[in-house]
Chain A
């Protein structure tokens, strides 16, 4: 470790830290501060009027502002949980398929899976909106070949949010598959050899060695998957506009609509604070789970 007498660390740190402070840390503080104020985004911060907890009361109150926010919060929660619950097992399956070397094609599969992660979300949204088209889209056509009737996908409040989850899984799965592959390469081969000598079958190996040793990877994956999922925005702003019947109104879309487009900066900030607090709780819980298991 170097001592600082070779030069002040601040010479090196100033560019990064001042940028992150001005453009991330100060805005976090401002978001919290604004959440206690009545403030139009069109005006300077000086025009903000202190209203105490009024914005939060509105979010939890019986008025439409509260109902819309709670619906957006619930939609985001459902979208996030479904995304994580689908992505994690699939990433393990795909990771095993890429990692194995008995059958060719693993590397090709990895390339294809990861290349979808490079595609701008906006293009993903555009393409899938056409794939989902009830009449001109190929998905319903393919389903009809195997005897499944046409699905409404994005045009029904019952299926729209889940349709967005599928789109999200398709775009993100390659990233999480690579994380799992990284985890798999860390597992010592000797563990499997020992298990085989003890007469363990393949299932026992998977649940006794592979899955437990992937735990850290999967915990990290779930944190990243949650953070990514709450950012869903492009398909909503471009295709569904939060509809039909508010079924795809999610927080990133809703906060931006309230705080930027409707210029209700104080109210939007209160929503942003609620999102931030929820994320902190979830991430702390995930890490606590990790620590608890590790101590056992």
Chain B
């Protein structure tokens, strides 16, 4: 027996087990309910969506709401924009985090710990604090209302550097020394010696970054003002809501939401081990 159950084991273990199981089922049902409702609603007819009390299961599930999504917003374009934002941002974060993480883990230099502390402090900063001047800065650079403006400010972040430093610190120095003796450059060492040794951490960071930047809303909304052609799917969802206010659009909105949820959810289901492992290591060692 593991210790997690200690709280629940009463004088009568069998009754306690039943209670635990019941609790697990109840929590799982409540947690899953909103997502199940979302999918069910996307399959209803507009009339079913408007009924009071609500209809739980569509009589004849139909995909017309999904077709309508494609008519109201350029769903294909939105998905492509989301994909472009999430993948390029993730790639940038991986490169910058690997390099900086390597330097912080394996180099000795003056001011290293201070510099690291300053970087880490930015991890605790909500984006709204810098939103106003950042918007102006990006306008100065000519990136306003463009995907470049969405992507470039996010190509490096403290969490990535922190995670990479934690894992690269565990790579044996002998491995790096051997590569140096062979005459490998430091850049080559980072990408062909160190990186292969920390693949699980890279996978975790990639997944986190991809999901975060697929989902993120505040910055794209601010920087893409007036350029709805470049909207990622999360911004296009907002347009679905305002397209036809009222109960009539419930199926439409739920179909759009279902589509937007799919990529991060599918990634998670297949790769959840990496997510969980990285939370464990970043949370506990931090």
Binding site for B on A (CB under 8 A): 1-4, 6-7, 9, 11-13, 15-17, 19-20, 22-28, 30-31, 34, 41, 44-45, 94-106, 108-116, 118-124, 126-128, 130-131, 133, 135-138, 141, 144, 170, 173-175, 178-179, 181-187, 189, 192, 202-203, 205-206, 210, 217, 220, 223, 227, 230-231, 233-234, 237-238, 251-252, 255-256, 259-260, 265, 268-269, 272-273, 275-276, 279, 283
- Contact (Cβ within 8 A) B186 A6: yes
Q: Give the residue among B17, B156, B176, B265 with the most A Cβ atoms within 10 A.
A: B156
- Contact (Cβ within 8 A) A231 B247: no
A-B contact sample (18 more), CB < 8 A, given A99-B2, A202-B7 = A7-B186, A11-B187, A12-B190, A15-B100, A15-B155, A17-B156, A30-B136, A97-B4, A111-B269, A119-B215, A123-B260, A130-B250, A178-B279, A179-B283, A269-B133, A272-B129, A272-B131, A279-B126
CA distance A41 to B130 in the complex (A): 13
Q: How far is the CB of A73 from chain B (nearest CB, A)?
A: 13
Q: A186-B284, A252-B218 are contacts. A202–B9 as well, Cβ < 8 Å?
A: yes
| B229 contacts partner chain A, Cβ-Cβ < 8 Å | no
Specify which of B24, B50, B176, B217 is in contact with A136 (CB 8 Å cutoff).
B50
Give the segment of B60-68, B70-78, B105-113, B198-206 that binds chain A: B105-113
User: Hey, what's the 0/1 contact readout for B259-275 against A, CB within 8 Å counting as 1?
Assistant: 01100110111001001
| B84 contacts partner chain A, Cβ-Cβ < 8 Å | no
Q: Which residues of A contact B237 (CB under 8 A)?
A: 122-123, 126
Binding site for A on B (CB under 8 A): 1-10, 17, 20-21, 23-25, 27-28, 31-32, 34-35, 37-38, 41, 49-54, 56, 95-97, 99-100, 102-103, 106-109, 112, 115, 118-119, 122, 124-137, 140, 152-158, 161, 173, 176, 180, 185-187, 190, 211, 214-215, 217-218, 221-222, 234, 237-238, 241, 247, 250, 253-254, 256-257, 260-261, 264-265, 267-269, 272, 275-276, 279-280, 283-284, 286
Q: Which residues of B contact A99 (CB under 8 A)?
A: 2-4
- Contact (Cβ within 8 A) B122 A20: yes
- Contact (Cβ within 8 A) B38 A123: yes
Chain B residue, CB-CB nearest to A99: B4
CA distance A105 to B20 in the complex (A): 10
Query: Would you give 6 A-B contacts (Cβ < 8 Å), ordered by A?
Result: A34-B133, A100-B4, A113-B31, A126-B241, A275-B128, A279-B125
Q: Which residues of B contact A3 (CB under 8 A)?
A: 107-108
CA distance A231 to B215 in the complex (A): 14
CA distance A26 to B254 in the complex (A): 40
Q: Which residues of A contact B10 (CB under 8 A)?
A: 202
3 tightest A-B CB contacts, nearest first: A99-B4, A100-B5, A100-B4
CA distance A115 to B28 in the complex (A): 11
Q: How far is the CB of B156 from chain A (nearest CB, A)?
A: 4
- Contact (Cβ within 8 A) B241 A238: yes
Interface of A is mostly: helix
Specify which of B52, B95, B106, B218 is in contact with A135 (CB 8 Å cutoff).
B52
CA distance A237 to B235 in the complex (A): 12
CA distance A105 to B185 in the complex (A): 50
Q: Which residues of A contact B140 (CB under 8 A)?
A: 44
Q: A20-B158, A130-B254, A252-B218 are contacts. A206–B260 as well, Cβ < 8 Å?
A: no
Q: Which residues of A contact B276 (CB under 8 A)?
A: 110, 114, 178
Specify which of B7, B137, B261, B283 is in contact with A182 (CB 8 Å cutoff).
B283
Q: A136-B51, A136-B247 are contacts. A259–B137 as well, Cβ < 8 Å?
A: no
Chain B residue, CB-CB nearest to A130: B250
Q: Which residues of A contact B127 (CB under 8 A)?
A: 231
- Contact (Cβ within 8 A) A2 B176: yes
